[in-house]
């Protein structure tokens, strides 16, 4: 029988929800099918569709034909091998990479296809017009003369969310001669949030590569260098108006609000998915729009998902403590007022099993991506597809 006709038979079955591996597909005439296009889909796309069918079946659902066709026609994003051919189909005299069995492809290979598809969905939300501001929204944008002048700086991932929440409560940052509140935390949390902000803003290295690059060089990344941020705020606003915040409730009390908001709580796998989606998304939308779109879609949809936050590999514990003690010393020496205790900057005792560190796992990241393919992101949130 024709290997190509057998392959098209498998493609048709996958489009209908089949989960049988390629090497188990019938090799007689019962496994044949008519061509559905000029070229067979690549092995990565076929493997991803089979995994998506398995994911949907486990949830008691099926994949819509339109979604299956999107997967089969998707591009491969990121670094790595280009589209791969299916083993057992017209291999004689073939140039380029060797054909492969889709079941042998790694989760990282499948994520390159899935990330491009999720990026398309995220980019599509840019065309949805923002809702008209309500009267209450417009009132909140006006600074009230009795609200103290302040700005919020420090940990970027958290500071952005706190500023937005305060504005929603009618406490818009700004004003004349403002007090600069520098948000801080234990240094491992600061590092995690620095990596999170980077993943949403510009992508870059994975968690372990991010830590290795900075710890290996013996310095903190700019988004985690609290002493540097404090000096920058002191230069801009005056050292006497800089406050280091290590207790959220004390800041809330000082600003006259019940509580401070915060960013979505994203586990290591969720942040890594945003990092991967950001790369192809950067080719679809202007660079200044990418962070906002990722936060409004993946940030909201993945809130509370993705496992625990990442943690430093044990080999870097000494570097972390040294940097934390240096940061505490620099902030204390500058005599900035502190809301809370500077000792909170130090690594927390028993923060994790000393023999294990938490880092993104490709299989877990892929599961999150499959969920987003089954229920694509929208401005309003999750929209379940018909089973």
- Of how many residues is the chain composed? 387
Count the alpha carbons within 13 Å of 141 in the hemisphere toward its beta carbon: 6
Q: What is the pLDDT of residue 168?
A: 84
How confident is residue 236, by pLDDT bands cut at 50, 70 and 90? very high
Q: Output the six-digit token pair for 139.
A: 């009132």
Dist. CA 331–CA 272, nearest whole Å = 32
Q: What is the pLDDT of residue 136?
A: 63
Inter-CA distances, 4 with 9, 31, 41, 86, 204, Å: 9, 11, 11, 9, 39
How confident is residue 127, by pLDDT bands cut at 50, 70 and 90? confident
Q: What is the pLDDT of residue 3?
A: 85
| pLDDT-wise least confident of 53-67, 219-233, 247-261, 339-353 | 339-353
Q: What pairs with residue 174 in β-bridges?
A: 150
- 200-226 pLDDT, tens digit each: 998 889 999 999 999 999 999 999 999
Q: What is the pLDDT of residue 354?
A: 56
Dist. CA 119–CA 78, nearest whole Å = 12
Dist. CA 195–CA 271, nearest whole Å = 9
* Residue of 185, 164, 141, 170 lying closest to 262 (CA atoms): 164
Count the alpha carbons within 13 Å of 323 in the hemisphere toward its beta carbon: 26
Mean pLDDT of the chain: 89
Dist. CA 201–CA 223, nearest whole Å = 12
Q: Is the pLDDT of residue 135 over 70?
A: no
How confident is residue 28, by pLDDT bands cut at 50, 70 and 90? confident
Q: Is the pLDDT of residue 387 over 50?
A: no
Task: Answer whether 86's CB lies under 8 Å from 9's CB.
Answer: no
- What angle is formed at CA 263 by the lines to CA 257 and CA 269, rounded to 5 degrees? 160
- 138-147 pLDDT, tens digit each: 655 555 555 6
Q: Output the six-digit token pair for 130.
A: 């923002």
pTM of full prediction above 0.85: yes
- 75-117 pLDDT, tens digit each: 876 555 668 889 988 755 566 678 899 999 999 999 999 999 9
Bigger pLDDT: 150 vs 2: 150
Q: Is the pLDDT of residue 340 over 60?
A: yes
Dist. CA 192–CA 206, nearest whole Å = 11
CB atoms within 10 A of CB 128: 10
Q: Is the pLDDT of residue 20 over 70?
A: yes
How confident is residue 55, by pLDDT bands cut at 50, 70 and 90? very high
Bigger pLDDT: 29 vs 376: 376
Task: Answer whether 281's CB lies under 8 Å from 119's CB.
Answer: yes
Q: What is the pLDDT of residue 384?
A: 36
* Residue of 347, 369, 350, 190 lying closest to 275 (CA atoms): 369
Residue in the block written with tokens 């067979």: 40
18: left (phi over 0), alpha (psi -120 to 50) or beta: beta
Q: What is the pLDDT of residue 95?
A: 65
Inter-CA distances, 229 with 67, 74, 94, Å: 46, 42, 57
> What's the whole-number mean pLDDT along residues 27-48?
90
Task: Answer whether 99's CB lies under 8 Å from 85's CB.
Answer: yes
How confident is residue 304, by pLDDT bands cut at 50, 70 and 90? very high
Which residues are CB-neighbours of 332 under 8 A, at least 6 positions away?
A: 342
> What's the whole-number mean pLDDT along residues 267-271?
98
> What's the whole-number mean pLDDT along residues 310-329?
94
How confident is residue 35, by pLDDT bands cut at 50, 70 and 90? confident
Residue in the block written with tokens 């994949």: 63
Task: Answer whether 324's CB lies under 8 Å from 347's CB.
Answer: yes
The 3 state secondary structure assigned to the chain is CCHHHHHHHHHHHHHCCCCCCHHHCCCCHHHCCCCCCCCCCCHHHHHHHHHHHHHHHHCCCCCCHHHHHHHHCCCCCCCCCCCCCECCCCCCCCCCCCCECHHHCCHHHHHHHHHHHHHHHHHHHHHCCCCCCCHHHHHHCCCCCCCCCEEEEECHHHHHHHHHHHHHCCCCCECCCCEEEEECCCHHHHHHHHHHHHHHHCCCCCHHHHHHHHHHHCCCCHHHCHHHHHHHHHHHHCHHHEEEECCHHHHHHHHCCCCCCCCCCCCHHHHHHHHHHHHHHCCCCCCCCHHHHHHHHHHHHCCCCCCCCCCCCHHHHHHHHHHHHHHHHHHHHCCCCEECCHHHHCCCCCCCCCCCCCCCCHHHHHHHHHHHHHCCCCCCCCCCCCC
């Amino acid at each position: 029988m024709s290997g190509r006709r057998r392959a098209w038979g498998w493609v048709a079955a996958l489009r209908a929800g089949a989960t049988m591996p390629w090497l188990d597909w019938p090799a007689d005439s019962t496994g044949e099918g008519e061509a559905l296009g000029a070229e067979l889909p690549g092995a990565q796309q076929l493997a991803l569709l089979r995994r998506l069918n398995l994911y949907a079946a486990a949830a008691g659902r099926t994949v819509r034909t339109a979604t299956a066709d999107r997967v089969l026609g998707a591009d491969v994003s990121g670094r790595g091998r280009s589209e791969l051919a299916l083993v057992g189909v017209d291999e004689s005299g073939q140039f380029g990479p060797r054909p492969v069995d889709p079941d042998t492809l790694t989760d990282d290979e499948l994520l390159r296809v899935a990330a491009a598809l999720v990026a398309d969905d995220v980019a599509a939300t840019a065309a949805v017009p923002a809702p008209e501001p309500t009267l209450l929204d417009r009132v909140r944008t006006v600074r009230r003369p009795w609200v103290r002048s302040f700005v919020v700086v420090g940990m970027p991932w958290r500071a952005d969310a706190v500023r937005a929440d305060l504005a929603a409560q009618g406490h818009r940052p700004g004003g004349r001669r403002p007090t600069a509140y520098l948000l801080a935390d234990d240094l491992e949390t600061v590092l995690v949030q620095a990596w999170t902000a980077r993943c949403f803003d510009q992508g870059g290295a994975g968690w372990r590569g991010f830590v290795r690059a900075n710890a290996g060089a013996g310095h903190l990344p700019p988004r985690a260098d609290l002493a540097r941020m404090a000096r920058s705020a002191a230069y801009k606003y005056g050292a006497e108006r800089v406050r280091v915040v290590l207790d959220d409730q004390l800041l809330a009390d000082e600003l006259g609000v019940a509580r401070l908001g915060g960013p979505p709580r994203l586990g290591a796998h969720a942040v890594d998915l945003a990092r991967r989606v950001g790369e192809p998304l950067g080719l679809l939308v202007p660079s200044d729009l990418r962070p906002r779109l990722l936060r409004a879609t993946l940030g909201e949809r993945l809130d509370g998902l993705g496992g625990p936050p990442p943690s430093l590999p044990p080999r870097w514990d000494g570097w972390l403590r040294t940097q934390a003690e240096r940061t505490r010393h620099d902030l204390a020496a500058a005599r900035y007022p502190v809301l809370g205790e500077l000792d909170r900057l130090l690594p927390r005792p028993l923060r994790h099993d000393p023999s294990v560190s938490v880092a993104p796992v490709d299989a877990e990241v892929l599961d999150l991506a499959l969920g987003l393919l089954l229920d694509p992101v929208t401005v309003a949130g999750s929209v379940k597809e018909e089973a």
